[in-house]
Amino acid sequence: DTGVSQNPRHKITKRGQNVTFRCDPISEHNRLYWYRQTLGQGPEFLTYFQNEAQLEKSRLLSDRFSAERPKGSFSTLEIQRTEQGDSAMYLCASSGTSGGPTDTQYFGPGTRLTVL
């Protein structure tokens, strides 16, 4: 399978715990995006990377959230001190045959986070 992969697919945690999600983009895609989707809503942009550089962060990305893409390949999204309001589907997408903003973004299956 050469699509975007995300792990884990499901995560249940208790409030206050830290969680980390991983995204493996399509090989050689230089842009990687994180989105959050709550039930009944469209995905909301969180942040994106061009290679290893984090170029933009949404105001939704509070100080408890941090994302990395250290080698310009896979990325991790960490949420510290989780809150019930963090419960959502976290989606990763990658793009970048030309490296431009209008390259098609292909999404992974998402990680569903439930904070108890």
Partner 1 sequence: GESVGLHLPTLSVQEGDNSIINCAYSNSASDYFIWYKQESGKGPQFIIDIRSNMDKRQGQRVTVLLNKTVKHLSLQIAATQPGDSAVYFCAETRGQGNLIFGKGTKLSVKP
Q: Catalog residues that contact partner 1 under the rule CB under 8 A.
A: 4, 31, 33, 35, 40-45, 48, 55-56, 58, 91, 93, 95, 100-102, 104-110
Q: How far is the CB of 107 from partner 1 (least distance, A)?
A: 4
Q: How far is the CB of 17 from partner 1 (least distance, A)?
A: 24
CB 25 within 8 A of CB 40: no
CB nearer to partner 1: pick between 3 and 16: 3
CB nearer to partner 1: pick between 41 and 114: 41
- Report residue 37 as tokens: 């989707």
Roughly how many angstroms between the first and final C-alpha of the chain, as a whole number? 33
Q: How far is the CB of 54 from partner 1 (least distance, A)?
A: 12
Distance CA 58, CA 61 (A): 5
| Residue 11: its H or E element | strand 10-13
Provide CB contacts within 8 A for 38, sequence distance 6+.
Answer: 87, 88, 89
CB nearer to partner 1: pick between 21 and 33: 33
Q: How far is the CB of 16 from partner 1 (least distance, A)?
A: 27
